[in-house]
């Protein structure tokens, strides 16, 4: 199924007030979400976005799940936890869903935190992620 159609269905379910569980792809949210292994529960946005929230957004022609790195009025800067430098920008209206739960591959359910410490150590992420990818993955 094409991403546009898939996320259109997700948006439709969210608009009906239903939560949606999905398994994200990719490693941009390591170490907190392992793509292809962990799943997330998506909820229709119900409040203003805050720095540290994990959101699903349409940025250009791509759909991404990243953490809110900065909020300036209706403009959001997003950055994956597994990224070192790259950011994306979107409007609040481009956000499809808020991640309210992470279901780990071992069955544990986690309520996402704001990752304050992780965001503050951004200059050192490169080293931590390199070790994580070599030793844990």
Residue 136 has pLDDT above 80, yes or no: no
pLDDT band at 85 (very low <50, low <70, confident <90, very high): confident
Q: How many domains does the chain have?
A: 1
- For residue 82, name the pLDDT band (cuts at 50, 70, 90): very high
Give the tokens for residue 32. Answer: 């907190």
pTM, two decimal places: 0.93
* Strand ranges in the chain using DSSP code E only, listed in sequence order: 20-22, 39-43, 54-59, 62-72, 75-79, 88-91, 95-103, 109-110
Q: Which range marks the domain in which residue 19 is found?
A: 3-135
Domain CATH code at residue 36 = 2.10.109.10
Spatial neighbors of 117 by CB under 8 A, at least 6 apart, are: none
Give pLDDT tens digits for 62-81. Answer: 999 999 999 999 999 999 99
Question: Average pLDDT of 46-59?
Answer: 97
Q: What percent of the chain has pLDDT over 70?
A: 99
Contact 57, 10 (CB under 8 A): no
Q: In the beta sheet, which residues pair with residue 21? A: 41
């Amino acid at each position: 199924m094409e991403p546009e159609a898939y996320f259109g269905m997700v948006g439709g379910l969210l608009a009906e007030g239903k939560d949606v569980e999905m398994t994200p792809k990719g490693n941009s949210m390591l170490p907190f979400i392992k793509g292809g292994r962990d799943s997330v529960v998506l909820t229709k946005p119900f409040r203003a976005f805050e720095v540290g929230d994990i959101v699903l957004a349409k940025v250009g022609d791509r759909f991404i799940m990243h953490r809110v790195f900065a909020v300036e009025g209706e403009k959001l800067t997003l950055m994956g936890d597994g990224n070192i430098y790259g950011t994306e920008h979107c409007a609040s209206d481009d956000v499809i869903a808020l991640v309210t739960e992470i279901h780990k591959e071992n069955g544990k359910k986690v309520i996402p935190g704001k990752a304050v410490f992780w965001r503050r150590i951004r200059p050192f992420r490169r080293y931590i992620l390199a070790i994580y990818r070599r030793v844990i993955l």
